[in-house]
Structure 1
Amino acid sequence: MKVEKIHDKKISVFVTILDLKERNIDIFEFYPQSSKVQALFLDILEEAYLQQGFETENSQLFIETKPIPSHGLYISVTKFDNEEELEEDYSSGYIIHKVEELFFNSTQKNVRHELVFSYPNIESIEPCVKFLSSYCFENTSLYQLGEKYILTLVLSNVYNQRTYSKITAFLTEYGIQEFFSIAYVDEHGKTLLGNKAIEGLKKYFYFPYENKKS
């Protein structure tokens, strides 16, 4: 899919018929409540960030769709803080009040709870390491993607949604929750610590201090 930036607060995206078929989405049954449509929106926001630097964190989104029979679907996304900012008649589309809720609604339907957070440098991750050490994860990995350090976490199934939310809230204090898929980061990023990144980070941060004390 190709993302076009209209202005700082609006993008348009053309999704082809092939893209929709691959996701098993009917062009004339495009409902925002559908988990398949929500997953598509997350991919659109990911591409918008990667291609155009279009940030949606802490913004509400106004979505308009226009089907082009036999070709695909045009989708426009406008971010805003309050409805007075919208240039369009917002009765012609629908509003997503929190991108974070869209992400959570999509991930909670999966067996695995995945989290992806970015940090400007390795040191920014240190406050999170001790906190995360008290939880069990199926996988934790650390990547470098551009100038960012990306920490990916796959939470064990033994935890409920409340625990997922607690971990997300804590990590948000120190990093930025990203909407990349872990598969995307694994393909495009440079792996620094694979599989058991939390254990590796504990050694990186705390072993040097312990050696100094002894």
Structure 2
Amino acid sequence: MKIERLSQNKIKIFLTFDDLLERGIQKDDMWREIPKVHELFSEMMDQAYNELGFDASGPLAVEVFALPAQGMVVIVTRGKSESQQSADTEEDQDEDVYEMEVTLEHSDVIMYAFRDFEDVISVSHQLLQAKLTEDGRLYSYRGKWILTFDPVNSDQGRTAALIALLAEYGDATSLTTAVLEEYGKLIMASGAVAEICTHFQS
């Protein structure tokens, strides 16, 4: 579990699938009202307080992004939204109960980060040789190269093979597409694998 402060009232938590499995939570459980998920959220908030001094008292807006190869990104924003203010009741709330407004988004985009461009070249040649894909987008972001791929037409076998190859050379990243598009630099908008193989030898 990695926690990062985005602003004074906003944090980002990255959960790997191992983090979820260790707690007996399936990916689909994240949008169910079950005790395990509440325990996980309490644990995340305790860690956020200990590491960053983030106080999670009061209403919280929680956004959960499911990423296919990487895990889950949870964005927690502290403060009242207008809908929460109008929905407030006079019931006494336990201090340990978090008022949460949860929104869930599922992203099927596969995203891997590479430290060296040589690794990007190597994995591109492997992907092309295995006839897995010649597509993909290439970004530069904070000194790393990021390759992103749209899902392979619900073909789970090919998707698993694609992820396995990418994982040999790079690291799964907790970035969301929105962050990458806003702060990253787009190098190749489409056909990145074919383009790289055309211009660079492995």
Normalization by structure 2: what TM-score? Answer: 0.52
1:123 aligns with 2:118: yes
Structure 2 residue aligned with 1:155? 151
CA contact (8 A) 1:136 1:155 kept: no
**Equivalent of residue 180 in structure 2, options 164, 182, 185:** 185
Structure 1: which amino acid aligns with 2:177?
I
Structure 2: distance between partners of 1:13 and 1:168? 37
What does 1:28-177 align with in structure 2 at a 5 Å threshold? 39=66, 42-44=72-74, 66-69=96-99, 72=100, 113-133=108-128, 134-136=131-133, 140-157=136-153, 159-177=154-172
Provide closer, same or farther for how the CA distance between residues 189 and 161 of structure 1 changes in structure 2, counting only shifts above 3 A. same
CA contact (8 A) 1:2 1:13 kept: no
Structure 2: which amino acid aligns with 1:145?
Y
CA contact (8 A) 1:117 1:152 kept: yes
CA contact (8 A) 2:138 2:147 kept: yes
The runs of 5 or more residues in structure 1 that have no matched partner are 24-36, 48-65, 74-105, 210-214
Structure 2: distance between partners of 1:197 and 1:119? 14
Structure 2: distance between partners of 1:201 and 1:186? 20
Cα deviation digits, residues 183-213 of structure 1 (max 9, x gap): 321221011111221122112213xx9xxxx
Cα deviation digits, residues 56-111 of structure 1 (max 9, x gap): xxxxxxxxxx5334xx48xxxxxxxxxxxxxxxxxxxxxxxxxxxxxxxx86xx6x
Provide closer, same or farther for how the CA distance between residues 117 and 5 of structure 1 changes in structure 2, counting only shifts above 3 A. farther
Structure 2: distance between partners of 1:16 and 1:131? 50
Cα deviation digits, residues 118-157 of structure 1 (max 9, x gap): 01121111221122221246x5111111111111111331
1:195 aligns with 2:190: yes
Structure 2 residue aligned with 1:54? none
Structure 1: distance between partners of 2:55 and 2:200? 43
Structure 1: distance between partners of 2:198 and 2:55? 44
Provide closer, same or farther for how the CA distance between residues 16 and 171 of structure 1 changes in structure 2, counting only shifts above 3 A. farther
The Cα RMSD (Å) is 3.7
Structure 2 residue aligned with 1:94? none
Structure 2: distance between partners of 1:15 and 1:135? 48
Structure 2: distance between partners of 1:15 and 1:178? 29
CA contact (8 A) 2:132 2:162 kept: no
Structure 1: distance between partners of 2:159 and 2:58? 34
Three-state SS of the structure 2 residue aligned to 1:44 is: strand
Structure 2 residue aligned with 1:6? 50
The runs of 5 or more residues in structure 2 that have no matched partner are 1-8, 12-47, 78-95
CA contact (8 A) 2:57 2:98 kept: no
CA contact (8 A) 1:140 1:153 kept: yes
Structure 1: which amino acid aligns with 2:10?
K
Cα deviation digits, residues 4-57 of structure 1 (max 9, x gap): 4624xx99684985735xx6xxxxxxxxxxxxx564982227x9xxxxxxxxxx
